[in-house]
Amino acid sequence: MKHARSIKELTRGIVMECCIPSQQSTKTPLLFVHGNFCGSWCWRNLLIYFAQRGVSCYAVNFRGHWLSAGHAALGTAITEHYVEDVEQCLAAIGTGVILFGHSMGGIVSQKVAENNPVKSLILVDSAPCREITENCFQPKPEVGDILKDLFKPLSDGTVVMERNRDMIKKILFETGNVSEETLAQATAYLGRESAHVLKNHAFISVDPQKVTCPVYVIGRTGYGNQKNPDLWHALADYYHAADRYISGDIGHCMYMEKNWQHHAARFEKWCFE
């Protein structure tokens, strides 16, 4: 199905990317929320996939990210500001949405769902909330070593990723499952991030009783402690997830990998079946 891509600027310079099908269905719109260093560009596969199926799709760009204004002041941003950015998008869309949150965008989406009515919440390798971080999270030492080399703090209160394709591939993608074109795009497009957000976003508290919509969780095995060995199972349990898919053979950015359509089909089932 044909669709039109457009860029909608909201108040305070927040920009939302829109993919609207030529023949819209009655299916609930989707709003995609990106993670650290990213922007709406990372959702391109899913925006097109769902728009071709008659679903109106939207993707936020947080302040200081990709197409949005505020790059000079990004070092002052906190996670709660990003929650406000998503709430602006909700107001602009003007109807209930299915909310997709990836990585840091996942905790932002959890806070949005805590305080706003959404149809469903899909957490894609999401950052945990404080309750899960403090009780379940156990980072892998080898990952920490890579991040120390990959993340470079700047004097303006932001952090930038080194343009090291090998390290970016190791952190963001499953081994052997990313094309050179996608890897080159990600390496080129990854921007700066607020150091405060990067350090603190996994320590945002969320009341699961206030998240009344169905929650779906996709994530990787591991990253938990001895009591809760799988972080994303613990996150799914916290929200009494309607469904989950936790696997050892997917990468952090699985929706950009070679087999992204496999995950898109799972998301479609969660959204509309």
pLDDT tens track for 144-158? 888 989 999 999 999
End-to-end CA distance of the chain: 20
Separation between Cα atoms, residue 116 and residue 108, nearest integer Å: 12
Answer whether residue 24 shows pLDDT above 80: no
> What is the average pLDDT value for the chain, to the nearest integer?
96
Indicate which CATH number applies to the domain containing 195: 3.40.50.1820
Q: What percent of the chain has pLDDT over 70?
A: 100
Answer whether residue 162 shows pLDDT above 80: yes
In this structure, what token pair is assigned to residue 51? 């728009």
DSSP string of 183-209, one letter each residue: HHHHHHH--EEEHHHHHHGGG----GG
Q: For residues 60 and 16, is the Cβ–Cβ distance under 8 A? A: yes
Work out the average pLDDT over 188-203: 98
Separation between Cα atoms, residue 155 and residue 192, nearest integer Å: 12
Q: Which residue has the tokens 């609207």?
A: 20
Give me the domain span that covers residue 68.
Answer: 3-272
Please give the pLDDT value at position 129. 98
Answer whether residue 195 shows pLDDT above 90: yes
Please give the pLDDT value at position 25. 83
Separation between Cα atoms, residue 250 and residue 69, nearest integer Å: 33
Please give the pLDDT value at position 57. 98
Work out the average pLDDT over 91-119: 97
Domain count, the chain: 1
b/e 206-244 (16+ beta carbons within 10 angstroms → b): beeeebebbbbbbbbeebbeeebebbbbbbbbbbebeeb
Model confidence band, residue 23 (pLDDT cutoffs 50, 70, 90): confident
